[in-house]
Each structure stands twice: as structure tokens, then as C-alpha cells.
Amino acid sequence: MNAERDEDAQLFHTSPRPDPLRCRQASYPIVVPVEARYADMDVNGHLNNLALESLHENARATMNSRAAPGIYRRGRRSLRLVAAQNVVHFLAEAHWPATIHAGVGVGRLGNTSYVASSALFVDGACLSVCDTVLVAVADDGRPISIPEDMRTALSALTLGRRE
């Protein structure tokens, strides 16, 4: 019976709560203000978790376009990025209207992938943190090494550094 319980435990995984430093806006090299939209509210009157996740996604795109200018231009894209994992911790509620500060940086940089780490803040309070593993892939979907110029730019955007 214990063997079954141990086996079952491996089927489920939760991520530990984020390091408190992740909840400090100063930890992020890029911080951009974003106005919450009225449409982002749910029936409970607070900003919906999916709306917050879309702000994390936009922060990632902002960082990616700074690290690899032109990465999102149709027909001229030289590199594809795919999300292999996305973990979001929702820590506090926010209400409309609000100015949200989206902070983003590189949590880890590997050969073919990196972790885009972001957080959302309202009046200095951390609403949520997100870690997304992004993998560089070739046209056939196989992982490829991150180009050196992009790697250099991403290295300058690691958490704890400021632009």
C-alpha cells in the first residue's frame, strides 16, 4: 500500500511559493506600466487571473523583442520560441481601475532554453509571479541553441539587474 501511495505522489506536483525577492519590483531589469482594462474584471469585481496571465505574456514578449529585435515580425522571423512550461502564482487581488507595473527578466539561461520570470505589481504590492520556460526551436520543431547575440542580450536581463 505504501508503494502505491508513493507512486501516486509522483503523479502530482505543485511548485513552491516564490522567493520573497521575486516580489520586489527592484528585482526586475524591465518594468513597464500597463493600465488594467474594465473588461479584465470578473464577476467578483477583481482582475481575472487569466487577464493577469495575459499581462505576464505581454511582459515576456516585451523582453523577447528587446533581446531579439524583429523576433515577432511576420515573414522576417529568424527564430521561433515555444513555451514548454508556465507556472503562475497568484498572490493578491487587484481591482479596476489600476496601473499595473509588469516586471520581467531572465531567471535562468540555458543552451536551448531560458526562463522568462515576471511579476505584476499594484502600488508596490505583488499580485502574481510567473516563470515560463521558452525553448528556441528550428522550423521542424527541434530545439536549437539560442543565437549568441540573443544570449548576450538575455544575459544582460537576468533578475537583479536593472536596465
- The pLDDT of residue 9 is 60
At 122, the pLDDT band (50, 70, 90 cuts) reads: very high
Q: CATH for 19-155?
A: 3.10.129.10
Taking 60 as the threshold, does the pLDDT of residue 2 lie above it?
no
- The pLDDT of residue 11 is 74
> DSSP string covering 34-78, please?
EEPPGGGB-TTSSB-HHHHHHHHHHHHHHHHHHHSTTTT-TTT--
Report pLDDT digits (tens) over 51-97.
999 999 999 999 999 999 988 888 776 789 999 999 999 999 999 99
* Backbone CA torsion sign across 18, 87, 129, 148: positive
Report the predicted TM-score, pTM, of the whole model to 2 decimal places: 0.89
- The pLDDT of residue 1 is 46
- Residue 117 · residue 107 · CB < 8 Å: yes
- The average confidence (pLDDT) of the chain is 92
Find the range with the poorest average confidence among 8-22, 26-40, 141-155. Answer: 8-22
* Residue indicated by cell numbers 528585482: 27
Domain borders along the chain are 19-155
- Residue 6 · residue 136 · CB < 8 Å: no
- Residue 104 · residue 97 · CB < 8 Å: no
Taking 80 as the threshold, does the pLDDT of residue 115 lie above it?
yes
